[in-house]
Amino acid sequence: MRRLLWMIPLLWAVATITFFLMHAVPGGPFDQEKKLPPQVLANLNAKYNLDKPLLEQYVLYLWDLAPLKADFPPVKTPDLGVSFRTNQPVQDRIEVGFKVTAQLGVVAFLYALVIGMSLGVIAALNQNRMGDYLGVFFATIGTALPSFIIATFLVVIFSVKLGWFTVLGWGGPPALPWDAPFWDPGNWHIRQMVLPVISLGTLPAAYIARITRASLLEVLGQDYIRTARSKGLTEWVVILRHTVKNALVPVLTVIGPIFAFLVTGSFIVEQIFSIPGVGRAFVRAVFDRDYGMIMGTVLFYAVIVAVANLVVDVLYAAVDPRIRYG
């Protein structure tokens, strides 16, 4: 609980730093190749409070952001303001982007979990044999190479040379994927999904494989496994019921950081494959000097990271009763 409250000053600090940093970026949101008439510019600046002193803008922004002015208890969702470029509420644009990012993230997460755990199990059961070396090799490469490089190789081989997948893009032009039912495979655009998912999910997969292997090896050496074997249980029952179940505990605890990684890491993958997610929205916003969007996306990411860290701590405490948090 105390840690939950600690998030508030943390987010405030993030908001403050971002606010002043982005105003230090040269140029404003309405700078264009063709200069706007001075009156129009003045009106625009007035509309978005840009004519006021910086400190006043800051206070106004925080005032809108903080749930203070709502009724008590403060249940109102914070008002992130509007995008200076499109005049839409920032909330809506982040929501649209997040649906895409979340879809990518969820599929990448499933991929990481399935690949990582099966590789880890295979490696542990074949210790110091072919399967093990393959698993360890994958884990090493996967953790050392960033999504950026993996994506490049995948695109060169599978899109350009073999032509199996599209080079970039996400979803069809008519509607964003989330508007159509998620469970309908027709809306999944598999050919556009495979490469981004692999690029994004390989690092978590390698990570999970490492942890699964290590913890499985440890469990396999325990006495109760020998007991189960000596009872005459078949190898499959021993592995599935007695080993894997216990070996999964450490894997559970890394889900938090992996989740945070998938959300923030998708940022690069979105750039590479031109996927219209939150990360791309942020980069666009920085280039456009779209103050409202910059603040919104940074705060959004900060909340995700903070929540993920919180979940990690809670999970650790839940799994290992020796760890306590006040």
* Cβ distance to other proteins smaller for residue 90 or 305: 305
What is the residue-wise DSSP string for 189-204? -HHHHHHHHHHHHHHH
What is the rounded distance in angstroms from the CA atom of residue 296 to the CA atom of residue 279? Answer: 12
Report if residue 268 touches other proteins, rule: CB under 8 A: yes
186: left (phi over 0), alpha (psi -120 to 50) or beta: alpha
Nearest-5° angle of CA 291, CA 106, CA 67?
Answer: 40
Closest residue by Cα to residue 19 from 263, 267, 302, 299: 299
Report if residue 73 touches other proteins, rule: CB under 8 A: no
* Cβ distance to other proteins smaller for residue 11 or 315: 11
**Residues with Cβ within 8 Å of residue 216, at least 6 apart in sequence:** 120, 121, 124, 125, 243, 244, 247
Q: Which helix (H) or strand (E) holds 93?
A: helix 90-125
Report if residue 14 touches other proteins, rule: CB under 8 A: yes
**Residues with Cβ within 8 Å of residue 180, at least 6 apart in sequence:** 186, 187
What is the rounded distance in angstroms from the CA atom of residue 203 to the CA atom of residue 209? Answer: 10
Residue 156: CB minimum distance to other proteins, A: 5
Report if residue 149 touches other proteins, rule: CB under 8 A: yes
* Cβ distance to other proteins smaller for residue 22 or 248: 22
Report if residue 286 touches other proteins, rule: CB under 8 A: yes
The binding track of 105-144 with respect to other proteins, each residue x by CB under 8 A or -, is: -----------------------------------xx-xx
The binding track of 22-61 with respect to other proteins, each residue x by CB under 8 A or -, is: x-xxx-----------------------------------
Report if residue 278 touches other proteins, rule: CB under 8 A: no
- Per CB under 8 A, residues contacting other proteins are 6, 10-11, 13-14, 17-18, 21-22, 24-26, 140-141, 143-146, 148-149, 152-153, 155-156, 159-161, 167, 264, 267-268, 271-272, 282-283, 286-287, 294, 297-298, 301-302, 305-306, 309
